Chains A and B, each alone.
Chain A
Amino acid sequence: MAQAVVRRVASAGGEVMLVARDPEKLRHVGDDARVRGAKIADLLQADLDLVGGHAALLDRAFAALGTVDVVLIAQGVLAAPEDCERDPALAERVLVTNMVGAALLAQAAALRLAAQGSGTLVGISSVAGDRVRGSNYQYGAAKAGFSAFLEGLRCRMSGRGIRVVTVKPGFVDSPMTAHLAKGPLWASPDAVAGVILRAAERGRDVVYAPGYWRLIMLAVRALPRWLLIKLRL
């Protein structure tokens, strides 16, 4: 998804700094963005679970870019509940990457933007966090935590010239979901990127991507617990 956002920014001739954990993938996405017209301020390899590194990373980003318009937090890990049950280290990663790492990066970035007096922080959470179910409880709980954290951060930052936006994608056809069978509700990363960039510019602070997930989640949140359990959702 982050790659799709970068491509749209690139085609408009924007300037970006990219952060990723895998140096090869970072280079591949960076080259692609450059050919498509982006100015690359910097490419930085970092494991965002290591929250101690966030400050240095943001220093470097603000130094390279000057004024920062948008900070997009897009890291995430998905794992099946049974795999997490078998392997607590994996469960820990799901909780840390999706919740702790993302939330602390959001906090640090929001403070920088507030100091700058402008800008938008966008965090990618998930519809999975709107109603946590047995089939994704580690991931869902982490995303629920991240959504809640952003909600609070938004209140805290009000009046400081910045926006905090939560994007909740539904099913997106990306590397994260490569192993899953696709149906009609699935969206392309590019479609979600469109929603992300529009939301970063103006409008609601909590957006679903695509928008129809707002209705779906309204219904899913209203389901009684016994039904969720019965349906093994």
Chain B
Amino acid sequence: MPLHWRTDAPFAGAGPFLPHGLGRSYGDECLNDGGVLIRTRSLDRFIALDEDRALLTCEAGVTLSEILKLVEPLGFGLPVVPGTKLVTVGGAIANDVHGKNHHRAGTFGAHVEELELLRSTGERIVCSRASHAPLFAATVGGLGLTGVIVSATIRLRRQPSPRVDAETLAIRDLREFFDLSLESDARFEYTVAWIDCLARGRHLGRGILHRGNPAQEIPPPPRSSRRLAVPFELPVSPLNGFTVRAFNAAYYLRHRLSGGTRRVPRDPFFFPLDGVDRWNRIYGRAGFFQFQCQLPPGAAEPGLREILSTVAAAGEGSFLAVLKNFGEATSPGLLSFPREGSTVALDFPNRGSRTLRLFERLHAAVREHGGRIYPAKDALMPADQFQTQHRRELPAFRAQLDPAFSSSLWRRVNPGE
């Protein structure tokens, strides 16, 4: 069911309803088995741009890519971007997404001034921190369950150039990740580490750290880039132990050798996978599972050690393993994922029950260390783990739910509802 105009009323039939952006979430939170998906991508109009106050108002189906294209030539940027620019504003709010500058800027939702929500009753509610605050807090990071976000006002960041002065450093082990992150977070707007999941023992946590600051320059005129595409699904995954090992070693070496600061364009720094159309196809037909968790500051090092050694021991090579420290900013949403501590994201080709058993061990490790799992990337977390990790916020969240809305994820973590 596509929504073309923000005046449309999309609630025909019994539902349950769930808004859908670009489907860039990895798990079942953007699915609604047996229900109705309300497609918001055609709500792609800008509404107002106030350059003096750095405020942009747009419809919720506008993508972050479209925003950057509009505002960068005017000397603005988005304060927070996730690892892909091909997501909608509605999706970015509903997952309260984070980027490489979480330690400075907090989450995407922290820069949302107000939003307009369409409820299944047909009611349209403009909410912000000042007006309908409980509904605002439930909607930011609210997994699409409080209604359809039809438009939002976002605070932009003044930034002369979209390019980044970036450095890449080798990390020998997990201890060094924490030391380098601490030092880098103080001096750099962007930090993120890439970890070689196959390194074990004293090499555990070996990897590289990218860090950077916005380039202070008058930017060169943009060039259009050609995209590489993976044109079909490979029948079997080429990501077997060997290829992943080789890939990881090469990546590690390449980055260890290229030291120093380089001025790099926006896309390879922030959105490396966007350059490859349908990159997910390299995992083959069976697809893959993502895993991303957060661990509180005290438990981060032992927790990560346990998670990384579990992954290394399982030999289910991860293609992407991303490590980052979250800052202390309080997220604006009740269910927002980011909290002070560390976060790690991994993905695994789906190899059936072996993969499921590995996830059970990972989930147990997160639970034991008082951590939380990111619903945007989850398809397997047990119901009671969701209930436990959000136990403090769930009563207030439930009070704001739109009763006609639900998702496959919500039904999975609330069996019997």
What residues make up the interface of A, taking CB atoms closer than 8 Å to B? Answer: 24-25, 28-29, 31-32, 35-36, 174-175, 178
Contacts and interface: CB of A to CB of B under 8 A. Distances in A.
B48 A35 contact: yes
A24 B7 contact: yes
Nearest to B66: A36
Interface residues of B, number: 13
A35 B47 contact: yes
A115 B45 CA distance: 36
A178 B46 contact: no
A24 B8 CA distance: 11
A174 B7 CA distance: 16
A25 B46 contact: no
Contact of B49 (A25, A35, A178): A35
B1 to A, nearest CB: 8
Contacts of B58: 35
Given A35-B47, A35-B49, A36-B46, A28 B5 contact: yes
Contacts of B45: 28-29, 31-32
Task: Please provide the 3 A-B residue pairs with the shortest distance between their CB atoms, ordered closest to farther.
Answer: A35-B46, A32-B45, A175-B4
B28 to A, nearest CB: 24
A35 B46 CA distance: 6
A35 B156 CA distance: 15
| Interface class of chain A by DSSP | helix
B231 to A, nearest CB: 15
B151 to A, nearest CB: 10
Contacts of B390: none
Interface of B: 2, 4-7, 42, 45-49, 58, 70
Contact of B47 (A32, A174, A178): A32
B348 to A, nearest CB: 33
13 contacts: A24-B7, A28-B5, A28-B6, A28-B45, A29-B45, A31-B46, A32-B46, A35-B49, A35-B58, A36-B46, A174-B4, A175-B5, A178-B2
A224 B4 CA distance: 38
Contacts of B46: 31-32, 35-36
B7 A31 contact: no
Contacts of A29: 45
Contacts of A35: 46-49, 58, 70
A36 B73 CA distance: 12
Given A25-B7, A32-B45, A175-B42, 17 more contacts: A24-B5, A24-B7, A25-B5, A28-B6, A28-B7, A28-B45, A29-B45, A31-B47, A31-B48, A32-B47, A35-B47, A35-B49, A35-B58, A36-B70, A174-B4, A175-B4, A175-B5
Contacts of A175: 4-5, 42
Contacts of A174: 4
Contacts of B6: 28
Contacts of B47: 28, 31-32, 35
Contacts of A32: 45-47
Contacts of A36: 46, 70
A203 to B, nearest CB: 24
A175 B2 CA distance: 8
Nearest to B43: A28
Nearest to B3: A178
A197 B260 CA distance: 47
A108 to B, nearest CB: 29
Nearest to B39: A178
B57 to A, nearest CB: 9
